[in-house]
Each structure stands twice: as structure tokens, then as C-alpha cells.
Structure 1
Amino acid sequence: MVSPLCCSLPPLLWFILFFIFSAAGDGGAAALDTQAAYLARMKEQFPGPGMSRWDFSSPAPDYCRFQGVACDEGGNVTGIDVTSWRLVGRLPPGVCASLPALRELRMACNDVRGGFPAGLLNCTYLEVLNVSYSGMSGTVPDLSPLRALRVLDMSNNLFTGAFPTSIANVTTLEFVNFNENPGFDIWRPPETFMALRRIRVLILSTTSMRGGIPAWLGNMTSLTDLELSGNFLTGRIPVSLALLHRLQFLELYYNELEGVVPPELGNLTELTDIDLSENRLTGGIPESLCALPNLRVLQIYTNRLTGPIPAVLGNSSQLRILSLYRNQLTGEIPGDLGRYSELNVIEVSENQLTGPLPPYACANGQLQYILVLSNLLTGPIPAAYAACSLLLRFRVSNNHLEGDVPPGVFGLPHASIIDLSYNHLTGPVPAAVAYAANLTSLFASNNRMSGELPAEIAGASGLVKIDLSNNFIGGAIPEAVGRLSRLNQLSLQGNRMNGSIPESLAGLRSLNVLNLSDNALSGPIPESLCTLLPNSLDFSNNNLSGPVPAPLIKEGLLESVAGNPGLCVAFRLNLTEPALPLCPRPSRLRRGLAGDVWVVGVCALVCVAAALALARRWVLRARRDAEHDGAPTSPASRSSSYDVTSFHKLSFDQHEILEALIDKNIVGHGGSGTVYKIELSSGELVAVKKLWVSAARRTKQQHDVQVLTSTTSSGWLGDRELRTEVETLGSIRHKNIVKLYCCYSGADSNLLVYEYMPNGNLWEALHGCFLLLDWPTRHRVALGVAQGLAYLHHDLMFPIVHRDIKSSNILLDADFEPKVADFGIAKVLQARGAGADRDASTTTIAGTYGYLAPEYAYSSKATTKCDVYSFGVVLMELATGRKPIEPEFGDTRDIVHWVSGKVAAGAEADALDKRLAWSPYKEEMVQALRVAVRCTCSIPGLRPAMADVVQMLAEAGPRTPKDKLDSNKDSKGSAGQQQPKLPPASP
């Protein structure tokens, strides 16, 4: 119906109104055109597949239907969400002028260049801004103009300079997250933050905050989540935090807080998650805290807490995670723990707890971790634990537990580690172990276990480590053990095993430790086992008989066969070796003429071989003289000036090495010298690293060599890096660490003789043009390097930090087995325990850009966690095929930030090596990437130990299609369960 007023309007006014409305209409159209133009520019500025979702091919594109674009009823853009679109570029200027109705901008998990987009400061109506994991760097400007902002997430970036305390002026803020921006200058939160009356979530973890926790935070009563972890906070936890009556999450871990845990925190009746770990807190655990009705997660590990775990915790109906390891707690674990709640994790290792294991821990069938090692616990393992079908790790070692182990514990279907060592446990290893489909480590050493090792153990095909040493296990070693293809360690020493050593063990190509000493084994040492060298082999103190295999003699491993009266050697050895009799020669009557012919033939062959070797040496010398006619005196002619330090039985002498140092044998040059590939007269290949001594250092080193020769048996020159490499490699034995045969030291040069690696280094294999390693090979490389580093970090009297782990320092043998090399800047931690790992420091920064842990760059502290970080970078190289630094990563980004962003966005598959697109192992590659992200965490304490990395990689190993099918069947019904937040695994 037309209004009467309209009908009465004069014609002139009608014209004026028509003009006004027409102008308004044109302006609206212009505004819409401006928005379309800006979105088109945005697509241009972020080229790549991500923006293919926006199609501007039609004359009038309906951008309100574009994925990630939200509009109001008038067609005005109110929201843009391009989270995890793999965008690389800059946000075009003028965003607010072009999109005046913009309320939400979400650009997380991309690569936004050029720092914080200054144009955003004009978005006065912007309510949500999320640029987390976007690679932003530089300083953050004054954010005060964003006066409508409710949600601000700038976490996990590379911001530097002053922290933007100007957020205190944006009083509309409800959610603030600056987590993981360690580049900010040291700062303290100002009291002006109290102006944020609406703030619910305040996450300021790892932002370089220093000083005490401000008491005025207790006045911000709207808070539900307060996270200040990973900073440099000192002093006590203020009692005023108990005034935050809405608080649900309180995260203060990884600081330097002292004093007691305030009992007043028990007033926070809404609290569900509290983490005060990795501080210096003392006193007891408040009972009031443990009685909170909604408490799901209680983590206070690695502090100095004393007293008992409050028994009231056993009454909780909500508790999921209890992590209190590395304290000084006493008393018993609450007996009802887990009885009324769906408990996931019990982690109370390394305390002084007594009494029995909690019998109801698995009552609700959700328990995944029982970690109670290194306490004073007594009594049996509850029979109910055999029904804990979801258990992933069961570690009760270093206690006083007794009684038979429930058979079902050995067959837990999902367990990866079963650790019963150093208790008083009895009973056999049952056949049920065959059901442990995911078991990688079985530790039960130093108990009182008996029976025989069952052949069914081969059913646990994923086993990497078996240590059943120092028990009363008898019977023969099952031949079936040889089918455990992933086995790295087999320790059965100190038992009552009899029978012969199975030939099948020679098939364990991944084996590094084989210890069968102190048993009652008989028969010969199979020659085939020597193919496992240079592994740690120990057959001592048995009843073995027959000749010692020649490779054991060559490697100087006669101590590994000591205590076997029936063993003999085929030829007389150096008197310094352990005395072993000569093997009896066959009887003359039995040998007869054929025996005489055999002896004569052998002698003739030896003579011919000797003559050929002498002839070859003469030819090499003549050739060398011809090639260097008129050159300075050759090393060979000065061989008398070379001192030798050997670490293995040598099949060559220094003349053979020195005479082969000719140009045609050069295979590489480095900053410190030249590398030669030399074929010995025996046909064996060795690599020789020749390090020249500069004239400037020669005078000093002549003094050094006098000091060295007066205190050691060798006289090699005192070059620090050379000395480090020789001392390090000469003292260790591991199949994944390159073997150093010997060192020659002379007036002008030093020579290191290594085993030769025919397949070069991992950098060349990954980034060269000549071959493509499949994933099983890459995984084998990763696992081997991890095992070598775990040996350096955990298996020596003093841990060794390599300090320069990178793909070019990982060599590959003929079977692509990896060997860690180049120990020139290794650091030996001359102390034991965690303190050594934290406090070992160096005077200079060593390592390679792209592989350096961030804390090492500014603190110069060399710890094992620096090696873990570098290994994580190598693991990313293996999974992605990319180099640590590539232009695609951006100006201030590297592979770590690039991969971490992919993983955080759930887009791991996009980061995998495109050359392996055909690979059936994509799931395993994604698992490896996740391990790599853990290894490269910016907080060192959150990185796993290398022993745990070995474990995780073994669990993520390539499986056959049948294995995957069986695993999928087992996991049905539990795929949707939320994984609990876990603490770093204790040793």
C-alpha cells in the first residue's frame, strides 16, 4: 500500500529523492566492487594452490560464496578464514578501507611475510584476529586502535622487540594468546593489565617474562585460563591467585618459582588442570588441592616436594593425569587411586614412595601409563594389571616388588615398554608374550625370574630391546629369536642358559648388543655371528669350545670370549692378549698325505700373498715417486717421524697408508684438510683424513706434543679438535658410529684412518641427483642415528654431546646403514645425572646454521637436548626431502617452523617428500614428522631424551600391509578418544 504522504509530494522533491537513492545505490555497488577488488588482490599476493578456492573468472563473482569468506545480508565481507591454506605472501594494504565491515580475520598456519600488517590497525570494528603459526617477525606495533577486539591470537611466531603491553588499552579483550614468542625482550606485565575486565584467557607462555608473578593478577577475576609457563618467573606463587574463583586452567611450569604450593589454591573449585612442574617448589602437596571436585590433571613433576601424596586423591571421580615424578615424596600411593575415575596416567617415578602398587589403577579400563620406577615400592604386581588392555608403557623398575609377574602383563596388546628390572620378581617369561603386538622393549633384568625363554617371543615381532640379564632363566636360546628382525639389543647374561648359540642370531642385522656371558652355553662360537661386528659381543664365562673366529681376534675382542676353557686360537697371539691355547692340529695318522698337501698349499698361498703385497708396495712407491718428482719429501720418507695410536687390531701398517696419499686417491677437501680413499693390499678400503698443521700453530704444538708424550702413550699433536675426535672415537664402540682405526701424528700433518663409507653422506643421498631412498631405508637411517646418539648420551660413563649433528655428518655404508661421524667438536659431560645435562657449557658456539638449537645460539650451553634438536632437523629432512634452509620457508623461517606449522594445522601429509608420493608408508612418515616436531620444541626440557626417540621411531617403523590391517582392527572403537596431555616421559 502506497503512503498518502508519498502521493502528496511535489514533483521536484520526487526528483531530489530519486537522485539521493540512486547515488546511494551507486555507492553501495562501488563498495561491493571495492571488496571484490581487494579479495582479488589478496589472491594475487598469496599465489599458490590455497587461493584456488576463490574463482574470479566470472564478470561478477559472488565472493560471499567463496570458501572462507563470510558476508552480512548486504553483501559486506564480515569474516575471512584462510587457516592452514599454505599461503605464502603479504596481506595487501588497505584491508580495513576496502573491507569496512570486517569483524573476523583468521590467518593461522600460513606464511605471512612483511611482519605484522600495519593496515590492520585501522580495523576499528575487528573483533577476532588470529595470526598464530604464521611466521610473522619483527616488532608488534601499538594495538590500542583495535578497540573492538575480543580475540587476539599471535602465538607461535617470531616477534622481537618490546612486548605489546598496549593490549591493556583494548579493554574489550576476552582472549589473548602470545604463547611461544621467545624473541621478545625481557619484560614484566604492567599493572595496567587489570583494565582487561572481560579477559577470560590470558596465555603469555614463553614470552621472556621475568620477575615475580604479580599479586594483582588475583584481581582479574574473569580469568578462566592463566598460562605463564616457559618464562623466567621467580619468587613464590602468590596466594592472591586463589581469588580467581572462575579459573579452570593454571599453567606455571618451566619457571624458577620457589616456596610452597599455596593451600589456598584449594578454593578454586572450578579448577580442572594445574601444572606447576619444572620449578623449585618445596613443601607438601596441599590436601585441599587434591580434593578439588573437578580436578582432571595434576602435574607438579621435577620440583622438591616432600611428604605424602594426599590419600583424598583416591576419592576423585574426575582425575585423568597424575604426574609427580622427580620429587622427594614419601608414603604410599593412595590405595583407591583410579577406583572412581577414568585414570589415564600415573607418573610418580623417582621419589621415595613405599607400600604397594595401587590395585584399582586400571579399574575403569582407561589407564595408558604406569610409570613408578625408582621408588621403594613393595608387594606383588596386582593381577588386575594383566587386564589393562590400553596400557602403552608399564615401568616399575628399581623398586622392591616381589612375587610372580601376572602372565598377562607380558602380553599387553598395546604396550610398547614393559620394564620390570631391578626388583625381586619371580616366575617365567610366559608364552603370552606373543600377544604383545606393539612391544618394542622388554626389560626384566636383575630379578629372580626362572623357567625357559619361550619360542613364542618371536611373536612380539616389533621388539627392539630385550634385557633379561641376571635372573635364573635356563634352557636353550630359542632359534626363533633370530626372527626378531628389529632387535637392537639382546642381553641374556647372568642366567643359567645352556645349549649352543643359535646360528639364527646372525640374521639380526640391526643387532648392536649381544651379551650371552655368564651362562652355561656350550659348543662353538658361530663364525656367522661375526657379521654383526663392530657390535658389542660378549660370550665370556660359558662352556664354549673350539677355535675363536678370526674376526674377533682381528677386532681385538678376545676379552669377550674369556672364561671359556674349551676355546683355542689357530695361531699364536701377542703375549699381551688373554692367554688362549693353540688349537690342536689334526693327527698325523688322520691327516696323511692329504694333510701334508693342504699344509704345503696354505704355506704356498701365504708366500704368494706376501710376495704380491711387497710387489704392490714397491709399485705404489715407484708410482708415487714418479708423480711427485721434484716435490718435497713424501710422508713415507718421513714415516719414522709419525707416531701411531691404534684403537683396533690393524691389518695394515703406516707405510701402506702413507704411500697411498697421492692425488688420484683424493675424494674430498674440507676446511681442515684432505680426505683420501685408499685400497689396502688386503682389498679392504679405508678413508684417511689428512689434517695439515699450520706453521703458526706448529711451534705451540711442538710444545703440546712434548706434554702429551710425557703423559700418554701416543704423541699425536695437540690440536684441540683432533684430540677431541681421537679421544672420543677411540673410546667408543657402536655399529652406528664410524670406526676410527688409528691416528698417525707427524710434524706437518695428522692422519686419521677410518672405515670407508661407500655411499657417501646422507646430505648427498637426500639432496643429490643420483638416487632416491625409499622410506624403509630412510627410517632405518633415522633409527640407526638415534641409536648411536642414545649410546653417546645414555650408555657411557660420561655422556657425550656431539654438537654438530647434520645430514652431512651421517655416513652411509654399502647397505645404507648410517654411521655418525665428525666428532671434532664433541663435548664430554664430566658429571652425571640431570645436572650434567643442564650445566655443561662451552666457551664458543659450535654447530651448523639450520641445525642449531635456539637456546645454544644465545646461551652457549652444550647439552644432550641440543643434539636432540639437531636430530629432529635431520628427521625432518628425511621425511620431507627438503633442506634445513630453503627460500620457500621465508626470510626468517626454516624447516622447523615450516614443518611445525604443517603439523599444528593437521596438514602433515602436505609436508612429505613429493618424490615418495607413491609410497605406502605415508602414515609412518607422518608419525616420524610428529617425532621430529617433539625433538625440535623450543623449550629444551620438553624435548624427549634420545632413548625415548629410539623408542618412538621403533614404534613408528614401516609395517607390512597385513600389519596395518591387524592394527586397524585392534584400534576400532577407540579412535575417537581424546589423547591426554602427557608429561615428558621419565627415563
Structure 2
Amino acid sequence: MSSPNLYLIYISSLFFSFHLWVLKSQETPCNPNDLKALNGFSSCLEPNVLGWNNGNSVSDCCTWTGVTCNDSASKRVVALELGQKNLYGTICDSIVGLNQLRILNLSHNQLHGSLPTELFRMEKLEILDVSDNRFVYRIPEELPLSSSIWYVNVSKNGLFGSIGENLCKNSSSSNIKVLDMSMNFFGEVQQGLSNCTSLQYLMINGNNFRGYLSGGIFQMMQNLRVLHLQNNSFSGTLDHGIGHLSNLVELDISSNSFTGVFPDVFGSLGKLEKFTASSNNFNGALPTSMLNSPSITILDLHNNSLNDLINLNCSAMTKLRSLHLGSNKLYGSILHNLSSCKSLNILNLGHNNLDGQIPESFKNLNALTVLSLSRTNLVNLSSTLKILQHFKNLTVLMLSENFQGEQIPDDAYFQFRSLKVLSIAYSELRGLIPPWLLGCNGLQFLDLSRNHLTGTIPLGFNKFKYLFYLDLSNNSFTGEIPKGLTQLQALIDIDISLLGTSLGFPLFSTGIDGATFRYNNIISFPPTLDLSYNMLSGTIWPSFGNLRRLHVLNFNENRLGGSIPESLSGMKNLETLDLSHNKLSGKIPESLVQLSFLSKFSVAYNELYGEIPMGGQFMTFPSSSFERNNGLCGGPYIPCSLQQTPIDESPSEAMTVFGPQFGFGVATGFVLTIIVCFMSGWVLPRETTFKYRCFTSKSSHRD
């Protein structure tokens, strides 16, 4: 290599080394005390935090994952944000060495153990979020919060003790604005909570609070905007002191044990927009101030014991969008005054002691999207549908347990273009599936069960692209299962979680085993095809195996024949398969063992034979799943080694014993006996001796 080239390499090396030195001189590692605290914090975690250079005493921790430093020359750690990092372990006391820390977020991990008491007293800390972990810890009663903290979220853990006695004990520690202690095991609300006068959001729902809730606790909390008390065991009446919360926007006291009447304090709650008091024991009439509230947009009082007329003043409640009064003891007709609530989107009056029929004035509710009037003693289904078709945006319609014994109208001019959910079950309706129903192309959920509908199931069900729940059980349908049911796209390749139809209120479903399930959204229902308890005939289409997203298939109690298709194993998400009480024949396909989610299975009361498949979920099914199939054996049912063809001693079978084969055997034995006698050299002086010996030989052969 020539000298000029060596010189160039030398100069380049010097320049490069100088550049690295300049860059190195510009780097300032994070504060050594902070680095020590972070290393100590990391030592209690399993595994170490990804992206952290643990144990390195000269590492710049400001570049570590989730670590933020300030812009000062000292580069102090001011934020540690490690939410949803799948961390496991405990929080070491060394974390309090981050004495300039302002934000600490360790939420949505698997941390356990206790919380360092000093964590709540860090002088600079403003935001503390350790929610959704596994901490089990008794909050000390003497625990005061640092004056700098304004946001605390310790929800979804195993914390217990009391709340509030010393939480805001000092005037300097009353700066907290957001306190979320929900979904823990706290058992008492202390009067000292009222000292937290800056609180705007208080969530203590989902704990073990019991007994009377004193209104005095809220007397000083004038800034409170959101108060969540639901899913506890508060009892007694709702204290009038709740009226002191003049800035309250959202109040949820649902799923407790409150009793009595509502206090008439809603006139003082002039900013209240959402009030939820469902699933309690409130009774009597609604207070006048509630029925005239100009601010309420959502009013949910379902599942109580309210027992009065519905007397809403819609001219005053101009902002009311959602009204839930279902499952009470309200009585009277569906009053015309509801028709002036023109802003209503969601109306649930189901399961009350109403009567009559929907008034013509209901046409004015043209903003309505969700309507539930199930079990309200309604009559005249034809008139009801004629009125409701004017709701062009109606997506959910629940009319079950009404119109008892009426004829389902077949008016082809009914139009429900936007309808996605329709339930008219348990009504003993008569007639055929009407043609207007097939025009509801957007249907996702259809329940016409427990009626007296007849005729065949129409062929046009394949038009329902988004239909994933169909219940036609307990009717009198005849004929074959239409092949269009095997072409429902929502059960083949559409992700129904993207449909997102909101109910606006919970629905409850009771299973065969008596278990009750609550569904807050339509897509929470399992994809279902239920044609049970009809008079359907024909065979099961092999193309049902294409319904990969189906969870429940019930064809039981029909007259279906033929074999069980092997292709049913294509329903990979199937959880329930009931084919019992039909006339199915052949063997149970071995391919069904591939259904790894199958938990309920029955082919009882059919004409199946052969060995029951072994393996997979078939090892878990009881013998009752296979009973009354005389040809089946194996598995939990009759062992195949014990299953023998029974001996039939009928005369016809007995006669076969004396057939040609038996006669040939007797003749052959007789001839052989004569030959043996002569070859033995016997002289037969007396005829009787010969007859005796030959008879004896024949007798031995027969035995």
C-alpha cells in the first residue's frame, strides 16, 4: 500500500476519533441516584424491563424504555411509564429514591405484594396509576396523600381496609381531583373523605361497602362531577345529602340494596346528565324534580320495584335521550305524553304491568333507535308494526311475551330497513313467517321462538348477510331445512365483533341448565342456529360444515333422518351440538373429535349404531348423550364387548336346526356306523342286538 493512502487512513482515523470524543463529551448520563433507584426497582421484577441496561453504573437511564428525564443539566427522572409491559414481581422501596418523579404508571401488569407506604408521600409525585395488578394490601388508616398528588388509580387489585379517614387529613393534601379505588375489597367509607374538597371524580364501585351511606360525606365535595358507587351493598334510603353535589354530571348507584323512594333533590342537581340506579329496591313514585329535570340525558331505573304511572314531563326533559324503566311494577297504558319526548333514542319499558296498545302518537318518536316493550301486555300486533315502521332509524325491536295467540301479519308493505335485532318470542303467534321479514336484510339477531308458527322455513334466509343468531325453536315448522341456512355469511367468514350493535340496556338469557346470562351487547350472544322442537324432516345438509363461526347448533326434537355428515367437523368453533330425538341413522363420524371447543353434545334417541368415537371432547360427554341408540357402544355408553346379538328362540329360527345340513349329518353318521360294525368282524346272531347298538350310536352323534 502506498504512503499517500496510509496518510489518508491515518488522517481519517484521527478525525473519526475526535468526532467520537466530541459526541461523548456532549453526553451527560442520568442522575446517579436515579440510576441506583431504577436498578433497585428493576431487581424486584421478573423479567427485567426490556430496553433497560440493568446494573450498568454509567448507563444513561434517560434512554431506557418508559423513562423520561427533564431538560435540566442534572437530567432527573420525572416520569416512569411502564403500563402494559407484562411485568411480574413486587415494587421495591428503592423506587422512592426517584425524588423528582412526577408520573408513575405501572398499570395493567402482574405486580403483586404490597405498595410501599412512602409511595403516596413522594413530594413531587402528581400521577399514580397502579391499576389492574395483583396487589394485596391494607391501606393504612393514617395514610395521608402528598400535597402534589392530584390523580390516584389503584383499581382492580386486592386492596382492603377503609377509605377516607386520613386521606385528605391536611389542608395541603386536599388537592386530589381523581380518585379511583374501584374493584377492590374496601369495606368502609369514612367521614374524613369529605375533606377531599377538590375531588372531581370518585370511583369506589365494585367493593364490599355495606350499610347506610351518609349524605354528610358529600356535603363539602362541591366540585364532584362523577360519582360511581355501583356494585356494592349499600342499603337503606338514598340520603338527601346527595343534593349537595350541585356540580354532579354523572351518578351511578346501581346494583346495591337501596330501598324506599328517591329523594326529591334533583332540582339541586342542575348539571346532572346521567343517573343510573338500576338493580336496587326503590319503590313508589318518581319524584317530581326527576320527572322535570332539564339536564338529564340518560335515566336508568330498570330492575326496581317502582309502582306508579309513567308521568314524565317531556316538555321539560328536552335533553332526554335514553330512558330505562324496564322490570318494575309500573302500571297503566303507554301514555301519550311519552310521544312528546322527541329526542329519545332508547326506550325500555319492558316487563311492567302496562296494557293496551301503542298509540298513534308514537309516530312522533322519529329519533328512536332502540325500543323494548317485552312483556307489557300489548295487543294488536298488526297495528303495532304499522306504527313502528315509521321509525326509519329503528335498529333494535323487542316485543316478546305480548300479542298472545294473535296472527302474525303478512302485510308485504311493512318496511324495517334499518332493523338489526328483532325478538317476538313467547307469544303463541299463529301463521307463517311473513314476507316483510325477509326484507329486513340487515338483521343480525332474530328470535321467533315459543310461538305456533307453521309452514316451511322460507328459502330466502341466505339474503341475511349479517344474521348470526337465529332462534326458531318451539314452533310447528315442517318440511326440509332450507339450504340457505348453510350460506349465512356471518356464520362463515364475517367477524361479528365488527358489527357492534348496541342494545342500550342489558338482556338476559336462561339456558337449558337454568343458568342465567347477561348480555350488554348483541355481539355478546353466541352465534346460534336453533331449530329445535319443530317437525322438520329430511336430512342434515353437509354444507352446514361451512359455518366455521357457529357456536350453537340445535336440531333436536325433529324428524330428521339420514346420517350425520362428516363435514360437520368444519364448524371449528362449535360449542353445543344437539341432534337428539330424531331419526338419524348410521355411525357417529370420527371427524367430530376434531371439534376441540365442543362442550355439550347429544345424539340420544336416534337410530345410530357402531362404536362411539374416542378422543377429544368425546371423553367428557356423559352416557346420556348417547342413550336410546340400540346399536351404539363404546365410550361412556355400553362397552362394545358386552353388546351381543340376542338369542331369538322363535319357531322359524328353531326350524333351521333341522335343515338340509342336519339331515346330511345324520345320514353320514348312520352309514359310518354300519361300516364300522361290519369291519369289526362282529357276527350278529340276534337282530335286536344290532338295532340296539345302532340306535345307541345315533343317539351319541346327536348329542
Alignment TM-score, normalising by the size of structure 1: 0.46
Alignment of 1:337-736 (within 5 A): 337=338, 343-357=344-358, 359-360=362-363, 363-364=366-367, 367=369, 369-379=370-380, 380-383=383-386, 385-386=388-389, 393-400=396-403, 404=409, 415-422=420-427, 428-430=433-435, 433=438, 436-437=441-442, 439-443=444-448, 445-446=450-451, 453-460=457-464, 462-467=467-472, 478-481=482-485, 483=487, 488-491=529-532, 493=534, 501-503=537-539, 505=541, 508=544, 511-515=553-557, 526-528=561-563, 535-537=579-581, 684-685=611-612
Question: Which residue identity lines up with residue 166 of structure 2 in the other structure?
Answer: S
Question: Which residue identity lines up with residue 172 of structure 1 in the other structure?
Answer: N
Q: Is the 8 A contact 2:480 2:539 kept in 1?
A: no
Unaligned runs of 5+ in 2: 1-27, 492-526, 546-551, 569-576, 588-602, 615-619, 640-703
Alpha carbons of 1:287 and 1:39: their partners in 2 closer, same or farther (altered >3 Å)?
A: same
Q: Is the 8 A contact 2:478 2:534 kept in 1?
A: no
Q: Please give the alpha-carbon distance, in whole angstroms, between the structure 1 residues aligned to 2:611 and 2:274.
A: 62
User: Structure 1 residue 292: deviation in Å?
Assistant: 1.6
Q: Give the match's secondary structure for 2:636.
A: strand
Q: Is the 8 A contact 1:140 1:164 kept in 2?
A: no
Question: Which residue identity lines up with residue 326 of structure 1 in the other structure?
Answer: S
Tell me the alpha carbon deviations over residues 57-104 of structure 1, each in whole angstroms, 9 at most, x when there is no partner. 99663728965525365643333333323322333423333x222233
Q: Is the 8 A contact 1:63 1:69 kept in 2?
A: yes
Alignment of 1:788-799 (within 5 A): none
Aligned to 1:709: none
User: Structure 1 residue 489: deviation in Å?
Assistant: 1.7
Q: Is the 8 A contact 1:431 1:457 kept in 2?
A: no
User: Structure 1 residue 351: deviation in Å?
Assistant: 1.0
Q: Give the match's secondary structure for 2:290.
A: helix
Alpha carbons of 1:438 and 1:136: their partners in 2 closer, same or farther (altered >3 Å)?
A: farther
Q: Please give the alpha-carbon distance, in whole angstroms, between the structure 1 residues aligned to 2:51 and 2:162.
A: 38
Question: Which residue identity lines up with residue 294 of structure 2 in the other structure?
Answer: P
1:176 is the counterpart of 2:188: no
Tell me the alpha carbon deviations over residues 693-750 of structure 1, each in whole angstroms, 9 at most, x when there is no partner. xxxxxxxxxxxxxxxxxxxxxxxxxxxxxxxx9xx978xx7xxxx44679xxxxxxxx
Aligned to 1:214: 214
Tell me the alpha carbon deviations over residues 379-434 of structure 1, each in whole angstroms, 9 at most, x when there is no partner. 43344745767655422111238773776888656725533541768774226536
Q: Give the match's secondary structure for 2:211.
A: strand
Q: Please give the alpha-carbon distance, in whole angstroms, between the structure 1 residues aligned to 2:413 and 2:126.
A: 56
Aligned to 2:273: 272
Question: Which residue identity lines up with residue 754 of structure 1 in the other structure?
Answer: P
1:323 is the counterpart of 2:365: no
User: Structure 1 residue 262: deviation in Å?
Assistant: 1.4
Aligned to 1:82: 82
Q: Is the 8 A contact 1:249 1:271 kept in 2?
A: yes
Aligned to 2:671: none
Question: Which residue identity lines up with residue 107 of structure 1 in the other structure?
Answer: L
Q: Please give the alpha-carbon distance, in whole angstroms, between the structure 1 residues aligned to 2:251 and 2:294.
A: 16
- Normalized per residue, the structure richer in strand is 2
Q: Please give the alpha-carbon distance, in whole angstroms, between the structure 2 residues aligned to 1:387 and 1:409.
A: 10
Tell me the alpha carbon deviations over residues 339-392 of structure 1, each in whole angstroms, 9 at most, x when there is no partner. 666544322221112344473586236x2x322211112343344745767655
Aligned to 2:60: 61
Question: Which residue identity lines up with residue 435 of structure 2 in the other structure?
Answer: P
Question: Which residue identity lines up with residue 143 of structure 1 in the other structure?
Answer: L
Alpha carbons of 1:492 and 1:38: their partners in 2 closer, same or farther (altered >3 Å)?
A: same
Question: Which residue identity lines up with residue 274 of structure 2 in the other structure?
Answer: D
Q: Give the match's secondary structure for 2:438.
A: helix
User: Structure 1 residue 214: deviation in Å?
Assistant: 0.3
Once the two structures are overlaid, the 10-residue window that deviates more, 352-361 or 141-150, is 352-361
Alpha carbons of 1:374 and 1:39: their partners in 2 closer, same or farther (altered >3 Å)?
A: same
Tell me the alpha carbon deviations over residues 929-960 of structure 1, each in whole angstroms, 9 at most, x when there is no partner. xxxxxxxxxxxxxxxxxxxxxxxxxxxxxxxx
Alignment TM-score, normalising by the size of structure 2: 0.63
Q: Please give the alpha-carbon distance, in whole angstroms, between the structure 2 residues aligned to 1:458 and 1:445.
A: 23
User: Structure 1 residue 238: deviation in Å?
Assistant: 1.0
Alpha carbons of 1:481 and 1:191: their partners in 2 closer, same or farther (altered >3 Å)?
A: closer
Q: Give the match's secondary structure for 1:488.
A: strand
Question: Which residue identity lines up with residue 31 of structure 2 in the other structure?
Answer: L
1:108 is the counterpart of 2:112: no
Aligned to 2:233: 232
Unaligned runs of 5+ in 1: 1-28, 495-499, 518-524, 539-547, 553-646, 653-681, 688-724, 743-751, 758-987
Question: Which residue identity lines up with residue 490 of structure 1 in the other structure?
Answer: L
Q: Is the 8 A contact 2:366 2:393 kept in 1?
A: no
User: Structure 1 residue 336: deviation in Å?
Assistant: 6.3
Alpha carbons of 1:432 and 1:512: their partners in 2 closer, same or farther (altered >3 Å)?
A: closer
Q: Is the 8 A contact 2:417 2:439 kept in 1?
A: no
Q: Please give the alpha-carbon distance, in whole angstroms, between the structure 1 residues aligned to 2:638 and 2:393.
A: 46
Once the two structures are overlaid, the 10-residue window that deviates more, 135-144 or 30-39, is 30-39
Aligned to 2:152: 152
Q: Is the 8 A contact 1:431 1:454 kept in 2?
A: no
User: Structure 1 residue 443: deviation in Å?
Assistant: 1.1
Q: Please give the alpha-carbon distance, in whole angstroms, between the structure 2 residues aligned to 1:59 and 1:38.
A: 14
Aligned to 1:139: 138
Larger radius of gyration: 2
User: Structure 1 residue 456: deviation in Å?
Assistant: 0.7
Q: Please give the alpha-carbon distance, in whole angstroms, between the structure 1 residues aligned to 2:123 and 2:272.
A: 35
Once the two structures are overlaid, the 10-residue window that deviates more, 301-310 or 375-384, is 375-384
| Backbone CA RMSD of aligned residues | 4.6
Q: Is the 8 A contact 1:355 1:377 kept in 2?
A: yes
Q: Please give the alpha-carbon distance, in whole angstroms, between the structure 2 residues aligned to 1:68 and 1:320.
A: 44
Q: Give the match's secondary structure for 2:258.
A: strand
Aligned to 1:754: 636
- The total of aligned residue pairs comes to 525
Once the two structures are overlaid, the 10-residue window that deviates more, 247-256 or 432-441, is 432-441
Question: Which residue identity lines up with residue 457 of structure 1 in the other structure?
Answer: F
Q: Is the 8 A contact 1:335 1:360 kept in 2?
A: no
Q: Give the match's secondary structure for 1:34.
A: helix
User: Structure 1 residue 212: deviation in Å?
Assistant: 0.5
Aligned to 1:293: 294
Q: Give the match's secondary structure for 2:31.
A: helix
What's the % identity of the aligned pairs?
A: 18
Tell me the alpha carbon deviations over residues 98-144 of structure 1, each in whole angstroms, 9 at most, x when there is no partner. x2222332222122233212341441332322211122112223421
Alpha carbons of 1:753 and 1:111: their partners in 2 closer, same or farther (altered >3 Å)?
A: closer
Q: Give the match's secondary structure for 2:461.
A: helix
Q: Is the 8 A contact 2:213 2:234 kept in 1?
A: yes
Q: Give the match's secondary structure for 2:531.
A: strand
Q: Give the match's secondary structure for 2:166.
A: helix
Alpha carbons of 1:411 and 1:125: their partners in 2 closer, same or farther (altered >3 Å)?
A: same
Q: Please give the alpha-carbon distance, in whole angstroms, between the structure 1 residues aligned to 2:231 and 2:578.
A: 43
Q: Please give the alpha-carbon distance, in whole angstroms, between the structure 2 residues aligned to 1:394 and 1:244.
A: 37
Q: Is the 8 A contact 1:453 1:477 kept in 2?
A: yes
Q: Please give the alpha-carbon distance, in whole angstroms, between the structure 2 residues aligned to 1:40 and 1:406.
A: 75
Once the two structures are overlaid, the 10-residue window that deviates more, 229-238 or 195-204, is 195-204
Q: Please give the alpha-carbon distance, in whole angstroms, between the structure 2 residues aligned to 1:383 and 1:272.
A: 34
Q: Please give the alpha-carbon distance, in whole angstroms, between the structure 2 residues aligned to 1:446 and 1:741.
A: 29
Once the two structures are overlaid, the 10-residue window that deviates more, 525-534 or 434-443, is 525-534
Q: Give the match's secondary structure for 1:377.
A: coil
Alpha carbons of 1:363 and 1:65: their partners in 2 closer, same or farther (altered >3 Å)?
A: farther
Q: Please give the alpha-carbon distance, in whole angstroms, between the structure 1 residues aligned to 2:367 and 2:562.
A: 53
Once the two structures are overlaid, the 10-residue window that deviates more, 411-420 or 116-125, is 411-420
Q: Please give the alpha-carbon distance, in whole angstroms, between the structure 2 residues aligned to 1:373 and 1:197.
A: 45
- Normalized per residue, the structure richer in helix is 1
